[in-house]
Structure 1
């Protein structure tokens, strides 16, 4: 029965719906993510309001800089969300076997799905971080320029110059960061259950958008310092004085990067770029959940399945 739940057509519908929703939402709000990543990685760039950062980048590098690295990000996001949604809903279906879910179940299943997702898709995120920042005008003079011609060339150059292990740079903070989607899904599913209680109708688009935004805002603020460390490690050009290269994937590396940032910029340095991240990630997640719910619901209707099967999740 468990194998049937893990390899079900229903799980595939959730995975495709989640992937399509996330790709569309990320495309709409992509410039906000560009601003966030630039603030996290370029330590000498002064934190300003998100519109000011976007205007600065457009002035220095042109309008196309806002969508630099869009294709590899979309590829990574599509794969990542497909894996996450498939694992989350399939593992949950296998565990619950038709029973009502709880917040603790959502958290545990979300964590397990996140670990599988990180181990499978980290190389894609390492490559897309490099491609997204290639050609950027940095304030930090120590950042070395790169010359990747595309996704496959990035893989080849990283493996040749830094070793296969470099493709999993930032895996440890990424594994710790599986708490982010786990918390997000726990809050989202919990709020959805609360709002549906006593209702004889589906949640409206506005309601889905709001609970998606709230869930992502809470999970982002709780884990943002680790997201900054993750971006620095994936970029692969952190200062040698801040951390020894042989300790890149250890807890000591994360501690050194966090401590160094606090010493240099104070506690607020851990949250540099948070405004842009919140704007991008909250709006993207809200739109993604809205699209996901509608695509999944529509697909189940077309397949002739009762909405009750979709609601159970």
Structure 2
């Protein structure tokens, strides 16, 4: 019976998180397109988000910033559903009524992140390829691709590069489970601080602000690895074939980090950070706001609002 209650509770959080993230990403999707261009296309001279977006629209059309929206939304929906479900299920099972702590949130976030990465990396590899397909790159070494959709991209990648290519970037992705883990640790910690006076529902402004702060810290701390992750998912990193066919190795990540730093300086590791922060902080803040409101309304409709606040 307890397992059923915890599973249902986790399901509400998972659906709320997925819906919130999909809505937020749709609103700020052009900012993510600008961020990805800055990470992958090293020869692009435009450095600021508005300049990159202006270039994309001028050269590729008004709808170009929304290229690849559908596969990204599909991947994001699946990814956030898995992460929110695992995080809240593991938290409920681990704590069993005990008081949560930042270290507990961090460990649970890492565990949920590992499950999420192993399950959803192929979706993110495909959506990165589709999002960049048809783009006008400044780097002449980037080869054009021709995928007709999500399924065709899966088939072509497996046929041309092998099954392991669907998990390109898995190693940095596993390291990057620290990103949502740090984000949730800070978010849950700040939420507990705001509720020190007793269980209560946070205001929209409070949720938006703590969501933004949590994501800003997590993104800045892990950004160089996010850049390498994007390059590996794109599949044109120039890494040795025997290393990149299977899971990305530590040596490959190290080489890509060193090459990028050697070519562009240490600041090159943070190229696109402005676009990433602008997009990810606003998206995460809106996502947490929608997530909390959807979950709260669902629990309230079921008459579980008080119990929900006590547990979380």
Bin of the TM-score, shorter chain as denominator length? over 0.9
8 Å contact from structure 1 (residues 47, 273) kept in 2: no
Range 194-203 or range 276-285, more displaced: 194-203
| Aligned mate of 2:242, from 232, 246, 258 | 246
> Is the contact made by 2:38 and 2:47 (CA closer than 8 Å) also made in structure 1?
no
Q: For the residues of structure 1 that align with 2:2 and 2:131, how far apart are their CA atoms?
A: 40
SS of the residue corresponding to residue 63 of structure 2 reads: helix
Q: How far apart are 1:222 and its partner, in Å?
A: 0.3
Correspondence for 2:96: 97
Tell me the SS of whatever aligns to 1:220. Answer: helix
What is the Cα deviation at residue 209 of structure 1?
0.2
Aligned equivalent of 2:53: 54
Instruction: Determine the C-alpha separation between the residues in 1 that align with 2:83 and 2:5.
Output: 15
Tell me, yes or no, if the aligned pair for 1:177 and 1:226 is still in contact at 8 Å.
yes
For 1:140, what is the secondary structure of its paired residue? Answer: coil
TM-score (norm 1): 0.96
Preserved CA contact (<8 Å) 2:299 2:305: yes
For the residues of structure 2 that align with 1:187 and 1:5, how far apart are their CA atoms? Answer: 26
Determine helix, strand or coil for the equivalent of 2:147: coil
Distance of 1:51 and 1:212 partners within structure 2: 24
The answer to whether the aligner puts 1:130 opposite 2:129 as a matched pair is yes
In 1, Cα distance between the equivalents of 2:249 and 2:281? 30
Aligned length: 309
Q: What are the within-5 Å matches in structure 2 for residues 138-287 of structure 1?
A: 138-199=137-198, 201-239=200-238, 243-248=239-244, 249-287=248-286
Q: For the residues of structure 2 that align with 1:311 and 1:14, how far apart are their CA atoms?
A: 15
Aligned to 1:99, the other structure's residue is in SS state coil
CA RMSD in angstroms, aligned pairs only = 1.3
Q: Deviations over 1:129-185 (max 9, x none)?
A: 000000000000111110000000000000000000000000000000000000000
Structure 1 residue aligned with 2:34? 35
What residue in structure 1 maps to residue 116 of structure 2? Answer: 117
Aligned to 2:15: 16
Structure 2's unaligned 5+ residue stretches are none
Instruction: Tell me: CA distance 1:201–1:92, structure 2 relative to 1, closer, same or farther (3 Å).
Output: closer
Query: Aligned residue for 2:106?
Result: 107
Write out per-residue CA displacement over residues 195-218 of structure 1, whole angstroms, 9 at most, x where no aligned residue: 111156421100100000000000
Aligned-partner Cα distance in 1 for 2:113–2:46 = 30
Q: Is the 8 A contact 2:199 2:310 kept in 1?
A: no
- 1:306: Cα distance to partner? 2.9
